[in-house]
Chains A and B, each alone.
Chain A
Amino acid sequence: MNKARFKKRIAGVFFTLFILLMIVVLMFPIAAMVSVSLKRSEDVFSVPVTWIPPVVAWENYVDVFFKMDILDGFKSSIIVTAVTIVCIMLIDIPAAYAFSKLRFYLKKPIYYLVLVSQMFAPVIIIIPLYVMMNSMGLIDTYTSLIIMNTTFNLAFIVLMLKSVFDNVPKEVVEAAKIDGCSSFMTLSRIFVPVSRTGIAVAVIFAFTRTWNEFLFAFTYISSTPKKTIIVSLYEILKNNPALGIPWHYVMTGAVYATVPLVVLFVLIRNYITGDMTAGAIK
């Protein structure tokens, strides 16, 4: 084996080790979550800490539904997230197409405004937003959450979808035009099918951000049945002073809260197969 090859192999080993280290660091909290969710309440704080509990408490996964209110949280989270994703995609796919391929007056300033709008945290405008929602009578409804989540995800998703649409060569648009496609038909018949991959990724991002959203769900929703799953978990954390914090139930709930995300990812994985525009204009 000559020297250069040897060096290359050493570098490869280091890369692999580095990536493995990253994976360990990233998976550590998740492993801790699953581990605690399988412990009995008296084992949670046992010293020394064990990864695999002495008695595996599978019954946590059933009990959490009866002892804590999680089901309502699931229902409202699913409703809010589903409607939000539909709204975001309905608005953002045409918007990203316009930013990417059409020419119109004041395009650049508008694009920058959209970009800048995502810099300002919802927290710093929460007071005016609360007053607005209150005067529209939308406090404690799903509608308020859907509106807010849609608003604050729009900019980010537009950014993502624009870069996806930018990868589609503009000759495709010209070809469609010659064959008599209107702008809207170009979008729906060509761009959406061709960039399924990017749209799937955007859906995953929108889903994660909406599903994990805490601020609005916590501020706007006051009646228990309408609370989203994240807020339900927070309530379990804060509202059980008699029991102490039931960490095993919190973690079990957290495991349940990650399930929809994993399911969505598995469902959508088939779409993430590759770029269909490769070689479109050859």
Chain B
Amino acid sequence: MIALKKDHMELLLKWRKQARVKDAMLTEVNHSLEKQFEWYNSIRNDPSKKYWLITFEEKPIGVINLSEIDQVNNKCSAGFLIGEESFSSLGAIVLPALYNYIFKKRGFLKVYGSVVSSNKTILKIHEIHGYRQIGYYEKHILKNNEYIDIILVELMAENWLSKKKFASYEAEWD
């Protein structure tokens, strides 16, 4: 995984504006490239966030990230998007490499997050990876003029590390 750079913003913006990506995300992006550069400047030196470009044989296919990195309590959130639609099946494959990085290399205790309730695919992927649903916020976000529910999830280190079938999924992290 290559650390996200300013040069990647145009591609990332194109991916974020795709309907299938918008539907899956908590936030919608409709802004300009200038605004995208502003976003990049806001995250690049933020110690609570880390973004990487996902590449497959050097072809950029998506973005994966950590956010809300809390080195005191050893927890973080994680996210990803596969921008190149023909690689969208790899969504559930790239996450195990990230979890091995989080739990083995960084030594974190948990990953936690929020999922749009209509995103059944990622909820199922989370289930396969060992997440548990801990609750939900009802009508928590206004999206497309409709209030939507948010499911709260977490994955504990001991649960992930007990899943031997994903132990070999590794990646290099810039």
Bound together: no
Residues of B that sit less than 8 Å from A by CB: none
Residues of A within 8 A of B (CB): none
